[in-house]
A and B are shown apart, each in its own frame.
Chain A
Amino acid sequence: MTTTSSAPELAVRTAGLVKTFKDLRAVDEIDLEVRRGEIFGVLGPNGAGKTTMLRMLATLLPIDGGTAEVFGVDVRRQPHVVRQLVGVTGQYASVDENLTGRENLWLFARLQGVPRSRARTTAVDLLERFGLENAADKPISQFSGGMRRRLDLAASLITRPPLIFLDEPTTGLDPRTRGQMWDTIRDLVADGCTVLLTTQYLDEADQLADRIAVIDHGRTVAEGTPEELKASVGTSTLQLRLADRDQLAAAAEVVRRVLGDEPTLTPEAGGLSVPLTDADVAADVLIGLRQSGVGVASLSLQKPTLDEVFLAITGHGTEEPSATDTDPAAEPAHDPAHDPATSTDRTLETSR
């Protein structure tokens, strides 16, 4: 048994990872290093290749090029070993609709060789831990979205795998359930797990991840801590709407003078926006505007959105690209359960 592990402290390592669907490179030479015990966030819009990458690492999709290792074990050569090390929770709950919550956990425990009596107690423990004990004997069809996600995550933890993949764990959840999911994910790491998660929300990556890779069109466009990432776009954005839109040029001049940055103008709305490295300097801008006699109708100070991060890093926003160049990248086309059409109406901005 030879494994080529050059860096044993890594939970995941990929080099030049490639996945091609017909003539589209959904994952285009991604290099990734996830350290043990950290939460690593893969951030990107729909169709960036996040799910495809995760599915390759989880042995659910064949790897077309490059190498991938999980705890030093080659994913392509030893998928059976990798499957024992990784718990996967997909974007769409992969639990059995025909079974109850308890039966689901029992099924997955038994399939992984857990003896009958222990499978029963494991199911009870997990149901309790995820607050599902009251729904234990209800069919999944009566579960809410959040309950399904929790059951799905519980099913991934039966054998306590050292590495957990979470594909958009909170997409489609209400804010309260989302917060609960975040707490659960933090608990996992406290227990010694390594977590690799994908998300399209900057604030989720910000809240959870120790390090983030930003992915766009199958390529890594930025990598670093959340702080580094946000610093690259400014910590927040100042948005102004002027009382008199004819004063837009004068306002832009003030911003340029005070901040030394070029504001983005929206003349039809009499508005302008500019990234701030420090929210405190907003006051300087306002004073400058007052001194120049420019009236302000409304103003807001906003945290950077994923859109702005993208704009700053890639020079283009997270606008939905045309169907031909995004859909197959998001998910394999033949897999109806993963139809990206179901998620295109989601906002790409961070929720505040």
Chain B
Amino acid sequence: MTTTFAPATPRDRDVLAGVRTHLGPRDTIAQTMTMAWRATKKMRRNPEQFFDVTIQPILFTAMFAYIFGGAISGDVSSYLPLLIPGILGQTVLTTCMATGVQLREDMDKGVFDRFKALPIARVAPLAGPMVADLLRYLIATTLTFGTGIAMGYRPGGGVLGVLAAGVFMVVCGWSLAWIFTFVGTVARSAQSVQGVSLIILFPLTFLSNAFVSPSTMPGWLRSFVNVNPVSHIVSAVRSLANDGTVTADVGWALLGCGIVIAVFGPLSVRAYTRKM
């Protein structure tokens, strides 16, 4: 809805003509996409920003498979169906963390003053880079599956299963990134975003079923692992990629992602608007 501004007095009319009191959803989307364009330009000119989504999936997949494969599953190739979805979850979460760190760095720059002074949706400067980050999740997901397949991973779900798992993972990554965007808007510096994010990230990824089956864990830990949203995401990816089936975990994970956006989206915008 766009409302034309009603001028207070006749003499104000020339200045206030055409001024609008509200932004419509179309404006918000257009502004978000423009901010996404800015973020992709920035990525292209700072290619080192791609290190985490290019090197990490290859390195970690190979490392974890060769180190833990024999101990956990008897041999490397039988560990891969368990590991690849797990490491995919870890990689995408790490990518999410970078979203928060980079937002914080960006917000410290002078250009954010202009973004704040412009008549644009407050969510656009936050959501724009996140739209551009879809590209990063896509690269991370592709490289993780690629490395796994090169090492002998043969997903039972076939091409469709793997594609579905990839799309699912990108959606989850984008949703969870709102947590780190919120951390980015409230933290004092990029370093503190990194620190806080690691504290969130490590328990979530390692206290899950990402790398080992929870059946070997003590009972108290298992109960945490079973409610950990990362476990649901990893289980959902496993069922999609390995079996080509859509289990309840997919639903739970998507529900969780929806809740994360509903909570952290408004919180982030509020924190950003206040931090002026």
Contact of B108 among A2, A3, A73, A337 (CB under 8 A): A337
- Are A81 and B11 CB-contacts (below 8 A) given A58-B117, A59-B116? no
Please name all residues of chain A whose beta carbon is closer than 8 Å to the beta carbon of B45 when the two chains form the complex. 98, 139
How long is the Cα–Cα vector from A242 to B157 in the complex, in angstroms? 98
| A-contacting residues, B200-248, CB 8 Å | none
A108 close to B276 (CB less than 8 A): no
Partner of A8, one of B12, B110, B120, B124: B12
CB atoms of B9 and A111 under 8 A apart: no
If the complex has contacts A59-B116, A83-B118, A337-B109, are A71 and B38 also in contact, measured as CB distance less than 8 A? Answer: no
Cβ contacts under 8 Å, A72 to chain B: 8-9, 12
Residues of A within 8 A of B38 (CB): 96, 98-99, 107
Say which one of B21-29, B81-89, B148-156 lies at the interface with A.
B21-29
B190 to chain A, nearest CB (A): 11
17 A-B pairs with CB atoms under 8 Å apart are A1-B5, A1-B6, A3-B8, A62-B276, A80-B22, A81-B21, A83-B117, A85-B19, A86-B117, A90-B114, A98-B42, A107-B38, A108-B118, A111-B34, A111-B115, A111-B118, A155-B114
Rounded to whole angstroms, the CA-CA distance of A71 and B8 in the bound complex is 9
B30 contacts chain A at the CB level, 8 A cutoff = yes
Seen from chain A, the residues whose Cβ lies within 8 Å of a Cβ on chain B are 1-5, 8-9, 55, 58-62, 71-73, 78, 80-81, 83-86, 88, 90, 92-99, 103, 107-108, 110-113, 139, 155, 162, 334, 336-337
Report whether B116 and A113 are in contact in the complex, using a CB–CB cutoff of 8 Å: no
Is B114 in contact with A94, judged by CB distance below 8 angstroms?
A: yes
Q: Considering only CB atoms and an 8 Å cut-off, how many residues of chain B contact the other chain?
A: 42
Report the bound CA distance from A168 to B12 in whole Å: 28
Question: Per a CB cutoff under 8 Å, which of B15, B110, B112, B114 touches A108?
Answer: B114
B118 and A80 contact, CB distance less than 8 A: no
Mostly, the B contact residues are: helix
* A84→B20 contact, CB < 8 A: yes
CA distance A255 to B220 in the complex (A): 92
Across the two chains, which residue of chain A brings its CB closest to B114?
A94
Tell me which residues from 14 to 69 in chain B have a Cβ below 8 Å from any Cβ of chain A. Answer: 15-16, 19-23, 27, 30-31, 34-35, 37-38, 41-42, 45-46
Interface pair B113/A94, CB less than 8 Å apart: yes
Among B6, B34, B38, B118, chain A packs the most CB atoms within 10 A around the CB of: B118
**Apart from A5-B8, A95-B111: 15 A-B pairs, beta carbons within 8 A:** A62-B274, A72-B9, A80-B21, A85-B16, A85-B19, A88-B114, A98-B42, A98-B45, A98-B46, A107-B34, A107-B38, A108-B118, A337-B108, A337-B109, A337-B113
Is the pair A5, B9 in contact by a Cβ cutoff of 8 Å? Answer: yes
Would you give the shortest CB distance from A79 to chain B, in whole angstroms?
9
Whether B158 sits at the interface, judged by CB under 8 Å, is: no
